[in-house]
Amino acid sequence: MSANIYYSDNEYQQSITTHLADSQLRTNLKSSMDTLKNNRQKLIRTRYYNWEGLRELGKEIKQRALSKLPELLERFEARATERGIKVHWAKNSQEANEIIYNLAKEKNVSTILKGKSMASEEIHLNAYLKEKGIKAIETDLGELIIQLINEPPVHIVVPAIHKNRNQIGEIFEKNLKVRFTNVPEELNGIARNYLREQFKGFKMGLTGVNFAIANEGAIWLLENEGNGRMSSTACDIHVAICGIEKIVESFEDACILDTLLVPSATGAPITCYNNIISSPRKTHELDGPKEVHIILLDNNRSNMLSQPHFYKALSCIRCGTCLNHCPVYDKIGGHSYLVTYPGPIGEVISPQIFGLDNCGYMTNLCSLCGRCTEKCPVKIPLAELIRDLRSEKIGQGRKKVAGYSNIKRDDNEQKMMTEFSRVATSGMLWRIGFKALHFISPLLKFLAQTQIAQKSMLGKWMQNHELPQLNGNLHAKVKRLKGVIYE
């Protein structure tokens, strides 16, 4: 989503309703999320004797790097340049896309093979290059699957997690003209054979960056399939898109973050491939690109860095564990968020990257249960930041978040929350309100289904929610609860 696209509340509502009704999607997500969560939990329990201490150390590393980010960026550029890497600065998505296109045009490149890169999704590189007549081919298996059906990633780590093996078999059968199979090994073989043909003789490869090490001027890429290594070493020109928040000071810092990232992302202790790139190919080397270009992407990150409190979201190491543990995400999937970064971390960074006016509704897709904060490997207070962005959305807070001035605010929402606050802080009013709900909830359910009420706030809420059943003697329950509390 670009900064000039505005999604209305109704569009979000329609997207959410559509995905909630997709029973196959919900089944796939639950199965995948449960597997990822269980693998992570088991690994942490059996392999790490002080996981919480490691989390605290990771938090300190990221906070320290952010506190001197301008200095580290300059150091990274100087070291990388000394090693023969060409560093480019991109203020926004337009500048980043233009840099990549101009490089391709200069080198007479008509096809770019891509390793996994959420930054390239953020700037909508594929669509931009297509308009310019350049083909971008995804080589990550998950990215390839969704590219074949023209979908964006549903998850920041596992982009096709919403598709099961039968669906993938059908996608390959239709788009790659192969015999249908749902056997995972055979599906991998089909993708491998297809991609090997694409890799033959390609000139330009593009990847993301997991860590950029300031002291060395080097970048570190993590992956499990080998396609990232192909995209970065078998080509003549390697281009890497690096969000400026990916800078860390040293290899030691990067190693600690890597030790947090991989278990949180996949439930494995280490990735299959760790690609550390510190220069173009040297004269005595047999492989590697002749040119390495690194694009340092800002795209509103500097504005995020200037925000007290909200800057903490830049500590994200893109492990995706907050999505895996989110009780909202696993019901509706990433596409319901209508933006590149979904889930809890998306609710914090997307409004700040793309504008609160574009993505403000995302902050509603949160129960404030706090699981994301509890599980984040670098201790980003995600639930707290989402709550505070909600305050910004209705006109409170510091009023400095990108897109704040363009928000279309609903005065009724603020009035209702003010009234709710008054009732919720009064024991008497709260008890009276619940007693009243016990009697009128059947009527509210009936009214919400009427055509007139469908457009009201109650009607919209009732599309995807159910009023709780209030049964029994509420007064007696309150008395029993009081007895428990005071005993």
Structural tokens at position 409: 């605010």
Q: Enter the pTM of the model.
A: 0.88
CA neighbor of 143 nearest in space, from 117, 119, 164, 107: 117
Residue 288, phi-psi category: left (phi > 0), alpha (psi -120 to 50), beta (remainder): left
DSSP state of 219: E
Residue pair 477/454 in contact (Cβ under 8 Å)? The answer is: no
DSSP code at position 454: G
Residue 293 sits in the same domain as residue 417: no
Q: Which phi and psi (to 5°) does residue 327 adopt?
A: -75, -10
pLDDT value at 472 more than 70: no
Q: Which of 299, 330, 357 is the last residue of a domain?
A: 299
* Candidate from 149-158, 351-360, 441-450 with smallest mean pLDDT: 441-450
* Residue 90 falls inside a structural domain: yes
CB 51, CB 257: distance < 8 Å: no
State pLDDT tens for residues 221-235. 999 999 999 999 999
Question: Considering only 138-142, 255-259, 316-320, 392-396, which range has the smallest mean pLDDT?
Answer: 392-396
Q: Which residue did the predictor score with more confidence, 49 or 485? A: 49
More confident residue, 486 or 426: 426
Q: Which tokens sit at 22?
A: 């997709």
* 61 vs 417, residue with greater confidence: 61
Residue 3 has pLDDT above 90, yes or no: no
Q: Give CA angle at 260 (255, 263), nearest 5°.
A: 120
pLDDT for the residue 383: 96
Which residue, of 261, 281, 299, is where some domain finishes? 299
The per-residue pLDDT for range 26-47, each reduced to its tens digit, is 999 999 999 999 999 999 999 9
The answer to whether 111 and 137 are in contact (CB under 8 A) is yes
Number of domains in the chain: 2
Q: Which of 12-21, 165-174, 191-200 has the lowest mean pLDDT?
A: 12-21
Residue 330 lies in a domain: no
Q: Residue 246 carries which DSSP code?
A: G
| Residue after which a domain boundary falls, among 278, 299, 320 | 299
> In this structure, what DSSP letter does residue 405 have?
G
The mean pLDDT of 42-61, rounded to a whole number, is 96
Q: Is the pLDDT of residue 167 over 50?
A: yes
Tell me: do 59 and 187 sit in the same domain: yes
Q: How confident is residue 458, by pLDDT bands cut at 50, 70 and 90?
A: low
Q: In which band, very low, low, confident or very high, does the pLDDT at 436 lie, cut at 50, 70 and 90?
A: confident
Domain membership of residue 76 (yes or no) is: yes
What's the pLDDT band for 174 if we cut at 50, 70, 90? Answer: very high
Q: Check whether residue 83 and residue 227 sit in a common domain.
A: yes
Nearest to 251 by CA among 208, 220, 292, 293: 220
Domain that holds residue 59: 48-299
State in Å, rounded, how far the first CA of the chain is from the last one. Answer: 55
- The closest of 280, 310, 116 to 207, measured between CA atoms, is 116
**Would you mind telling me the total number of residues written for the chain in this entry?**
487
Average pLDDT of the segment spanning 289-304: 96
| CA distances in angstroms from 87 to 14, 80, 114, 237, listed in the order given | 43, 7, 19, 13
Residue 243 near residue 301, CB atoms below 8 Å:
yes
The answer on pLDDT for 99 being more than 90 is yes
The CB-based long-range contact list for 337-341 (8 Å cut-off, 24+ gap) reads 337/362, 337/365, 338/1, 338/7, 338/11, 338/12, 338/15, 339/1, 340/1, 340/118, 340/121, 340/122, 340/152, 340/153, 341/118, 341/122, 341/156
pLDDT reported for residue 8 = 77
The amino acid present at 69, given as its one-letter code, is: L
Q: Which pLDDT band holds residue 1 (cuts at 50, 70, 90)? A: very low
- pLDDT higher than 80, residue 443: no
pLDDT recorded at residue 482: 47
234: which residues sit within 8 A by CB, 6+ positions away?
Answer: 199, 202, 205, 287
Tens of pLDDT, residues 334-392: 999 999 999 999 999 999 999 888 888 899 999 999 999 999 999 999 999 999 998 88
The Cβ of residue 445 has, within 10 Å, a number of other Cβ atoms equal to 13
The CATH number given to whatever domain includes residue 62 is 3.40.50.10420
pLDDT of residue 260: 97
Environment class of residue 474 by beta-carbon count within 10 Å: exposed (0-12), middle (13-18) or buried (19+)?
Answer: middle
- Contact 368/344 with Cβ under 8 angstroms? no
Please check the confidence at residue 172 and state whether its pLDDT lies above 60: yes
Other CB atoms closer than 10 Å to residue 244's CB: what's the count? 22
The answer to whether position 287 is within a domain reads yes
Residue range 76-89: mean pLDDT, rounded: 98
Mode of pairing for the β-strands spanning 135-138 and 204-207 = unpaired
Q: Is 106 within a domain? A: yes
Neighbours of 31 (CB within 10 A): 13
**Residue 468 placed within a domain:** yes
Say whether both 286 and 415 belong to one domain.
no
For residue 396, the model assigns a pLDDT of 79
Taking only the tens place, the pLDDT of each residue in 397-425 is: 777 888 777 777 667 777 877 888 888 89
Residues 417 and 294 both lie in one domain: no
**Which carries the bigger pLDDT value, residue 418 or residue 186?**
186
What is the SS3 assignment for 419? Answer: helix
208's CB contacts (< 8 A; 6+ apart) are 115, 116, 117, 118, 119, 120, 221, 240, 241, 242
Q: Is 79:217 a contact under the CB 8 Å cutoff?
A: yes
Over residues 204-228, mean pLDDT: 96
pLDDT of residue 395: 79
Does residue 469 form part of some domain?
A: yes
pLDDT bucket at 433, cuts 50 / 70 / 90: confident
Asked if residue 325 belongs to a domain, the reply is: no
- The per-residue pLDDT of the chain, averaged, comes to 90
Per-residue pLDDT, 465: 66
Spatial distance between the Cα atoms of 321 and 28, rounded to a whole number of angstroms: 17
3-state secondary structure of 365: coil
pLDDT score, position 455: 61
